């Protein structure tokens, strides 16, 4: 069993990476450099000193305001850092110091960036999904049980949503799925394999539909409005990554008992 301090170190590392993910979420859609210039206040453009740039903690001791101009800092910054910290900690607790754990950490961070960019701009950036597909194929081919699991996952993930995109104008009279979602699920499939990508789309679809119905019911959203699907696919992928083997095993045992 993994020692507790390993989990703490992973979470700390996750918070630091989370800080960089904030930069990616903000700058990738704007096509700005991820390294230059350094972090600045979005309001007054004053460079942020390292001691005001400590993940989560700086936000707390600055009480959520810029030191120079007192403008409010979005609470999403510490949220993304905390989310990535929790993700890395959980992955370390679940998988220890295995190669899988590092790959899952990388995928988790990619999904965090994709989800927040999709929420902000309703796009899933190719600059993540295309290199992600290539990387997923390389590591998936080595790490998954069978050599074809990864390519199978990529084709099945992309194929399912491609089919949905093709058929939804006929079924619902409107566009259902963007090209970005297709590439995102293809990337997830390359990393996790064909079985887990099925679980991903089932979990993502159920939660997405539930949230959609709730938002329409609460009149936050009108029927037919567009909900970004990227965050739900990402959530499904995280469930599949963390508990997919158990869920599929449990489902498989149900099928064998029935026979």
- Could you list the residues that contact Zn ion (CB under 5 A)? 41, 43-44, 66, 68-69, 71
Q: Which of 189, 203, 190, 211 is nearest to 233 (CA)?
A: 203
Q: How far apart are CA 4 and CA 194, in angstroms?
A: 33
Residue 18 Cβ vs Zn ion, minimum distance, rounded to whole Å: 21
> 97 Cβ partners below 8 Å, 6+ apart?
2, 6
* Helix orientation angle between 99-121 and 230-258, rounded to the nearest 10 degrees: 130
Contact between 158 and 178 (Cβ < 8 Å): no
Nearer to Zn ion, 51 or 148 (CB): 51
Q: Which of 191, 188, 126, 127 is nearest to 160 (CA)?
A: 188
Residue 72 Cβ vs Zn ion, minimum distance, rounded to whole Å: 10
Q: How far apart are CA 126 and CA 113, in angstroms?
A: 12
Residue 67 Cβ vs Zn ion, minimum distance, rounded to whole Å: 7
Nearer to Zn ion, 48 or 202 (CB): 48
Nearer to Zn ion, 71 or 209 (CB): 71
CA Rg, the chain, in Å? 20
Residue 116 Cβ vs Zn ion, minimum distance, rounded to whole Å: 22
Nearer to Zn ion, 68 or 98 (CB): 68
Q: How far apart are CA 212 and CA 158, in angstroms?
A: 23
Nearer to Zn ion, 59 or 191 (CB): 59
Residue 66 Cβ vs Zn ion, minimum distance, rounded to whole Å: 3
């Amino acid at each position: 069993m993994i020692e507790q301090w390993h989990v703490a170190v992973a979470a700390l590392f996750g918070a630091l990476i989370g800080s960089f993910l904030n930069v990616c979420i903000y700058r990738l859609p704007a096509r700005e450099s991820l390294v230059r210039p350094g972090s600045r206040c979005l309001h007054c453009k004053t460079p942020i000193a390292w001691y005001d740039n400590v993940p989560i903690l700086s936000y707390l001791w600055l009480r959520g305001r810029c030191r120079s101009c007192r403008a409010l800092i979005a609470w999403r910054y510490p949220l993304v850092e905390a989310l990535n910290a929790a993700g890395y900690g959980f992955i370390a607790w679940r998988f220890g110091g295995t190669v899988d754990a590092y790959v899952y950490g990388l995928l988790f961070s990619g999904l965090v960036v994709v989800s927040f960019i999709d929420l902000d701009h309703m796009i899933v950036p190719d600059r993540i999904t295309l290199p992600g597909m290539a990387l997923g194929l390389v590591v998936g081919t080595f790490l998954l049980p069978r050599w074809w699991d990864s390519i199978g996952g990529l084709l099945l993930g992309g194929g399912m949503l491609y089919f949905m995109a093709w058929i939804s104008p006929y079924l619902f009279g409107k566009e259902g799925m963007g090209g970005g979602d297709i590439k995102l699920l293809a990337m997830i499939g390359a990393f996790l394999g064909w079985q887990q990508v099925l679980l991903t789309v089932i979990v993502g679809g159920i939660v997405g539909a539930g949230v959609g119905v709730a938002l329409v019911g609460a009149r936050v959203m009108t029927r037919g409005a567009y909900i970004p699907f990227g965050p739900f696919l990402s959530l499904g992928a995280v469930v599949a990554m963390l508990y997919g083997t158990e869920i599929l095993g449990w489902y498989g045992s149900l099928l064998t008992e029935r026979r």
